[in-house]
Amino acid sequence: MPSQLQWVKYLEWSKMHNSDIIYVNVLGRPLVVLNSHKAVNDLLSARSLLYSDRPPSVMVHELLGWGSMPSHMPYGHAWRARRRTFWQEFNPANSLNHQSNQLRSSRDFLRRLLYDPDRFLHHIEYTLAGSIIATAYGLEIEAEHDLNIARAKKVLLQLNEAPATGSFIVDILPILKYIPAWIPGMGFKAYAERVRPDTLAMRNAPYEQGCERLRNGNAEPSVLSRCLARGEHGIENHPDEDIIKDVMWVACAGGAETSPLVLSTFIAAMLLHPEVQIKAQEELDAYLGARLPVFADMPHLPYVRAILLEVLRCVWHPSRSVMINRTQPQMATSHVDPSGAPHSVTMDDEYKGYFIPKGATVLANVWALLRDEEYYPDADKFKPERFLKDGRIDPRLLDSIPNFGFGRRICPGRFFAMDTILMYIASTLFCFDISKAKDLEGRDIEPEIRYNPGFTMHIIPFKCAITPRSAEATKLIRDSELM
């Protein structure tokens, strides 16, 4: 079993054995890897009732405290209740509820780029996290050093840095969780005891702050206010308090973790492919004229949307990139991982003559799906136009994007996330040029885009120059402060 780049080895095994479904026995635990769109659709979508569970993780779910996160929860009544509440707020029909915060954060991002472009990665993380916290809880976000943003970043970093070897051992031998943390070899448990309070604070603290603002009558409309207003219950001792906390929590975790990776990859892609940037700017200039984009413009910008889709495709395999790896648990639950979030089979099943045992962990090799030549010819190239057909987004390719999961476990926040990132992309391209940074002697600094995957994948900081396209663009950005 490879300790690094497992998704690459899975595809190699698939080709070696001429099979899109691979079975591995990992210390007595069955692992099934799906390496084609057909296998994924046949099992995770068409048979989603059997394949919608999550494999248990003692380290992540119990010791680190992530067990009530809906994306980690087992399939069942508790998960369905959270899924239903989440979908009520984040389905496309309710997008107008969120657009003011999304637009506000995108304009804030533009101003930050204008005044301090070298910290673009920080601005991406900060504004995206702030946007979802404001949307979820109705909280005002500090211009810098916001406590809730800092806490979310800290907790997600702690999850990413969880001791890999110990995590895997305790998931194989759960009895180890009962051994005292001071015993040699139990460092993973000492780590969990140290960071678990931060995890619980990320779930509980902003909820209490949002409730306090509601009690004082000075809260902005939010997901929290609408959830608490349903039925005839007050804020105190609300019967759905745990459900609401978990829904807010998973929304903020996604906004603070996965969306920044996509947007930072977009910056890298524009740096490496200036011809794509120029073509998008021509589309934006032709349609927008001399104003900043709004959400009503997005259907009229197909090439810009195609850039988003190609960035999503390349998040796990950017052109001319290098992966920097560390050893990680082979079955870690992850959202931004080239082997996808794991599913678990609830009953014995059979597929193409193969027996799939109850309890097996099933992975969709998303990295392989995004390189499938049937869907994506020249998969190693960054080509947004592959998503266009007759000047519009090709629905066949749009439906094939596997980034957000499958079947009943597909991410219910995908529309909100894509709307947010699309607005950031359109606004950035309309106002700025992204180019190579210069050294002290005025020579181009050749970029090297690298990623460091753990439980989730992160881009390693890189240099680039982000400059206003014109004096008019600068004025539009500065005038947006008056909104």
Annotated binding residues: 411
**Which band of pLDDT confidence, cut at 50, 70 and 90, is reported for residue 1?**
confident
**What pLDDT was estimated at residue 165?**
55
**What pLDDT was estimated at residue 328?**
34
pLDDT at 331 over 90: no
Mean pLDDT, the chain, as a whole number?
89
Q: What is the DSSP annotation of 375-434? A: TSSSTTS--GGGGEETTEE-HHHHHH--TT--GGGS-TTHHHHHHHHHHHHHHHHHHEEE
Annotated binding residues for heme: 411
**Rounded to the nearest 5 degrees, what angle is found at the Cα of 311, between the Cα atoms of 309 and 315?**
125
**Which band of pLDDT confidence, cut at 50, 70 and 90, is reported for residue 14?**
very high
The C-alpha atoms of residue 328 and residue 455 are separated, in whole angstroms, by 7
Residues 6-482: name the CATH superfamily. Cytochrome P450 (1.10.630.10)
3-state DSSP assignment of residue 23? strand
- For residues 254-278, average pLDDT: 92
pTM: 0.92
Q: List pLDDT tens digits, range 91-104.
A: 999 999 999 999 99
pLDDT at 322 over 50: no
Report domain extents, the chain.
Answer: 6-482
The C-alpha atoms of residue 412 and residue 394 are separated, in whole angstroms, by 22
CA distance from start to end of the chain: 55
- 267 CB-near residues (< 8 Å, 6+ apart): 120, 124, 428, 434, 464, 466
